[in-house]
Amino acid sequence: MPLIFITGGVRSGKSHFAEKAAVTHYQTESIQAQRLIYIASGVALDREMEKRIIRHQADRQAQNIEWLTIEAPYEIANTLHKLTDGDVVLWDCVTTWLTNAFYEGFDAGAPCVEQPGCLEMKLEVLKEAVETLLEKRVTFFIVSNELFDEPAYTNEEVELYRQMLGELHQWFVSKADEAYEINYGVVKKWK
């Protein structure tokens, strides 16, 4: 399975690039493509996120191709296990999923970030699911945000988030066939 990792700043054009690449692969390079799948990790908790989700949905609809959208804000591993040979998949995005993982359980008074081992377990389950997926004939595009050009934060939780995200990015790139960074709409292929 080819894994293509795409990162960049907020509103850098990475999602557009990933969607276009997935559609192109689905239409031309994958002779036996079964489904074009969009795994969405966003949850509309505020007006800004709601607008972003609506914009992404409109962008996909404008392509005049049918995407199967799967909402997976928390249990991404379960979704990955259900993918089958021939699927072309775009997951948007890792940073949103990781934020959800940090605060899953918040409404019950026990966010994952405050539970010993909880985040590590979630990352391990994710990695195991991706490893399993690598054995299938699935083309997997992964989108994430680049957060490492800014100076360190004094907030320990934010720094923990950035550390975990950085380690996850490195892991994805180590598994990826291709890795891209998008800035200002300019594409840089790193791998």
| CA–CA separation, 188 and 57 (whole Å) | 26
Whether residue 118 has a cis bond before it, omega within 30° of 0: no
53-105: pLDDT as tens digits? 566 556 655 566 788 889 888 989 999 999 998 899 999 989 999 999 999 98
Q: How confident is the model at residue 107 (pLDDT cuts 50, 70, 90)?
A: confident
Q: How confident is the model at residue 42 (pLDDT cuts 50, 70, 90)?
A: confident
C-alpha distance from residue 135 to each of 80, 95, 171, 188 (Å):
12, 25, 17, 28
* More confident call, 42 vs 57: 42
CB atoms within 10 A of CB 20: 13
For residue 35, pLDDT beyond 80: yes
SS3 content of the chain, % helix, strand, coil (to 5): 45, 20, 35
Write the CB contacts of 174 (distance below 8 Å, at least 6 apart in sequence): none
pTM value is: 0.85
* More confident call, 42 vs 52: 42
Q: How confident is the model at residue 173 (pLDDT cuts 50, 70, 90)?
A: very high
- Tell me which of 14-28, 34-48, 125-139 is least confident: 34-48
Owner of token pair 């399975």:
1
Instruction: Tally the domains of the chain.
Output: 1
pLDDT at residue 132, as a whole number:
93
CB atoms within 10 A of CB 28: 9
Domain that holds residue 127: 3-189
pLDDT at residue 59, as a whole number:
61
146-169: pLDDT as tens digits? 877 666 777 888 889 999 999 999
C-alpha distance from residue 116 to each of 110, 119, 120, 122 (Å):
11, 8, 9, 12
State the CATH number of the domain containing residue 59.
3.40.50.300
151 secondary structure, DSSP code: P
**Per-residue tokens: 133:** 């997926």
Please, what is the average pLDDT of the chain? Answer: 86
